[in-house]
Amino acid sequence: MTSLPMLPAILVDMAGSFIIIVLSFLSLRYAWLLIRRQPENFLWGFLFYFCLTLGCFSVSRALGHLLKQILLIFGYTEQWHVLAPYTGGFNTLLMTSLAAVTIYYHKGIEGYQAIQKKADSLRIANEQLEVSADKLLKLNENLEKIVENRTQKLSESEKKFRNFFTNSKDMVYFCDATTRIGTMNPAGFEMLGYSMQQAPQLGLQDIFYNPEDLEKYTEALTTMGFVQDLEVEFVRAEGTVIYVLLSATAIFDENQKFSGCEGIAKDLTRVRTMMKQLASSEKMASVGQMAAGVAHEVNTPLGVILGYAQLMMDDFSPESEEGQNLEVIERQAKACRKIVADLLKFSRQSESARENILLNEILEDVLAVTEHSLNMDHIKVSRDFDEDLPIIVGDPEKLRQVFVNLVNNARHAMEEQGGGKLFLSCHYEKERDQVTATIRDTGHGIPKKVMAQIFDPFFTTKSVGKGTGLGLSVSYGIIKEHGGVIEVESPVQTADGELKGTALHVKLPVPPLESAIVIKDNHREP
């Protein structure tokens, strides 16, 4: 057998061993650069360890082959046979490690993917958490603004309600389920005449004049939930009655149980008074027109009857039956003529005279005329006139007629009980710029049920033949024509308590200062 030369094979083996070392370390270096750039990357870590094992294997194998050729060339065959098993075992070990790394590559990839998946989920969760945190931060900032805006709106709303509650001229109140008034505005306390310190003890039962109205009010609240425009009477702290227009709304708790109410009450006393005065004025106007027509129609035949009766009385003796009958006719005809005269005065539309008047003088004139009759009826007169009074402007004759009517009414109220006292006073009310004359008696007084009718034409409480019911009507019209009012009080309220009888207050306005004449010591000064 022809032997082939071994040199080329040896050179190729040695060159291949050297090249595999170079290439394996180049791969190792490249893997090292990758792992430095992305240390957390599992693939680059696996590739680094794989290249490291491969480099070790290439070094071991290449050195084994190079060492073998060197030892064989220099004749150290026995030494090679000693080292050969070790180099082969080492190569086998490295090859096994390389195989193991390769085999467990898939498992590593799965673990890496699982870890990466969890890392991605954590990253996404972290990003979402950061987004949520930003949203929460923005919401917190906006929430502060929202709370601030809401607080400002609530403050403005509370301020508006407080202004309405405090400044309202009507009574605004809040009650609990027991009808106790918990809160009420200042106008309510003023309307009812109570102080704010009395509020805890004040209930609706204390201010409703009629218990039936309170029952109706409570029933409407509990059944319908509201009360609208209910006209009721309230009683003030001092006992006077006022008329109010009441509206209220029920308050229910979360169990729909009645827990209280809130309401508004408007004082209608002045409106009711004005309506009564308007109705009275209209009634007087219509009765006046009728009275004028009746008076003119009756006056002529009445004068004829009276004239013929007086002529016939000259033909008969006063002691005869015919003379006595004619006296009866004359007396009754004169009574009818007086009624006709009162009707004409009531219906007269002529303008009153305008003179400067001192009301004290008018009252003294009236007492001079009526004092004899008062003494006959055992009525004592008490005067209380201010010395310094401003003048008033009016018709003295008509004013004398008014006060004569009022004094006579007081005398008739006391003559049934055998006498009494008549108090006349006159003073100046500076705050209202008016002069007030008061005629007060100690008679039986005026019943409340007829108080509103005393100024109506032809209304009288006197027995038949003692009054026509026109005196107060005529007086009312005269005082109204002078720009004043007549107020009636029965029984009379004083600082010492309630007194029996009736007081009529005639209030007349004072003219402007530039046209006034000041009266001092019964002398007039311009």
Integer angstrom CA distances of residue 429 from 145, 373, 438, 440? 61, 31, 13, 18
Residue 494 CB-density burial (10 A; 0-12 exposed, 13-18 middle, 19+ buried): exposed
How many C-beta neighbours within 10 Å does residue 497 have? 8
pLDDT at 277: 64
**Structural element, H or E, at residue 117:** helix 105-167
Rounded-to-integer distance, Cα 303 and Cα 255, Å: 84
Residue 246 CB-density burial (10 A; 0-12 exposed, 13-18 middle, 19+ buried): buried
Rounded-to-integer distance, Cα 90 and Cα 507, Å: 140
pLDDT at 514: 47
Mind giving me the DSSP string for 246-313? EEEEEEE-TTS-EEEEEEEEEE-HHHHHHHHHHHHHHHHHHHHHHHHHHHHHHHHHHHHHHHHHHHHH
pLDDT at 239: 79
pLDDT at 362: 86
Before 512, cis peptide (omega within 30)?
no
Do 242 and 267 meet the contact criterion of CB atoms below 8 Å apart? Answer: yes
Residue 361 CB-density burial (10 A; 0-12 exposed, 13-18 middle, 19+ buried): middle
pLDDT at 1: 39
pLDDT at 351: 55
Greatest Cα-to-Cα distance within the chain, rounded to the nearest angstrom? 215
pLDDT at 178: 79
pLDDT at 165: 65
**DSSP annotation of 38:** -
Q: In the structure encoding, which two tokens stand for residue 304, read together?
A: 């004829």
Residues β-bridged to residue 394 = 355
**Which residue ranges of the chain lie beneath pLDDT 50?**
1-3, 349, 464-465, 514, 516-526
**DSSP annotation of 184:** E
The tally of CA atoms less than 13 A away on the side-chain side of residue 194 is: 21
pLDDT at 102: 67
Radius of gyration in angstroms for the set of CA atoms belonging to the chain, rounded to a whole number: 61
